[in-house]
Structure 1
Amino acid sequence: MSVVVIHNQSDEGRSALEAGIREAESRGAELVVVHALSGSPDTRAQAQELAAVETAVHVLAPDARVEAALPDPDATSTLLTLVDKVDAELVVIGSRHRSAVGKFLMGQTVQRLLLEIPVEILLVKSR
């Protein structure tokens, strides 16, 4: 079993990664970071994006496994497929502070993930 962090290059992604590291250590589980690539058709840009993600992750979690894929047909579906692939026991997702309207209309990606991920979810607010 593993602790999965839904990753993006943001403060929310970093907060989720930090919480995921703590959870993986406390559970004695593997840490897997999943990232939906931007979808650039340029293979060089894809490789650069993946290298940047791996570098950012390995600074905080050198033993973490990074799983990434191009979104097909969209980033949310890709993330759900990656989470299913790695046998997760917990999924950690970062979120940012939102206004009252923003809370009501939570980002579609996060909302879909919360509704469709079939395991425990830890939603972490960024600082």
Structure 2
Amino acid sequence: MPIIVGFVPTDEGRAALTAAIGEARSRASRLVVVNTSTGAALVDARYASEGQLGEARRELDESGVDYELSQSVDSKDAADVIVATARRTNAELIVIGLRRRTPVGKLIMGSQAQTVLLEADCPVLAVKAQRD
């Protein structure tokens, strides 16, 4: 059973990737890295560029874990894509990065992390980026 990680090119996304690599190593599991966008905006900072994906691939290659990197533009929110991927692959774990949000930001924008936590059928590991 694989481990699914939601990857975005941010400090939180990199922290999630690093944690997921550690989990994949310790469990001898395959890692499925998911980067997605709804395509609703002309520029989506969560959708990784080729250079950002290249950096992630280098980290994954150096780690030695078996992995698959998936990038898509989908009509669904990232949380829904992550949960659907976990269900489709019968994942044993989902790893996501968390960022601080104001109460108003949560109210207006919703929370992808909350959706994953509530909808996932498997355990979810939520990690934070280190503060400077």
What is the TM-score with the length of structure 2 in the denominator?
Answer: 0.75
What is the match of residue 78 of structure 1? 81
Q: Are 2:63 and 1:64 equivalent residues in the alignment?
A: no
Q: Are 2:115 and 1:116 equivalent residues in the alignment?
A: no
| Unaligned 5+ runs, structure 1 | 43-47
- Could you give the per-residue CA deviations for residues 16-65 of structure 1, whole angstroms, max 9, x where no partner exists? 000000000000001110111352799xxxxx956345312212111421
| Pairing 1:21-36 to 2, within 5 Å after superposition | 21-36=21-36
Percentage of identical aligned residues: 33
How has the CA–CA distance of structure 1 residues 54 and 104 changed in structure 2, closer, same or farther, with 3 Å as cutoff?
closer
What is the match of residue 90 of structure 1? 93
How has the CA–CA distance of structure 1 residues 50 and 98 changed in structure 2, closer, same or farther, with 3 Å as cutoff?
closer
Q: Are 2:20 and 1:17 equivalent residues in the alignment?
A: no
Moved over 6 A (4+): none
| Unaligned 5+ runs, structure 2 | none
Aligned-pair distance for 1:4? Answer: 1.1
What is the match of residue 45 of structure 1? none
**RMSD (Å), alpha carbons:** 2.9
Q: Secondary structure at the match of 1:22?
A: helix
What is the TM-score with the length of structure 1 in the denominator?
Answer: 0.78
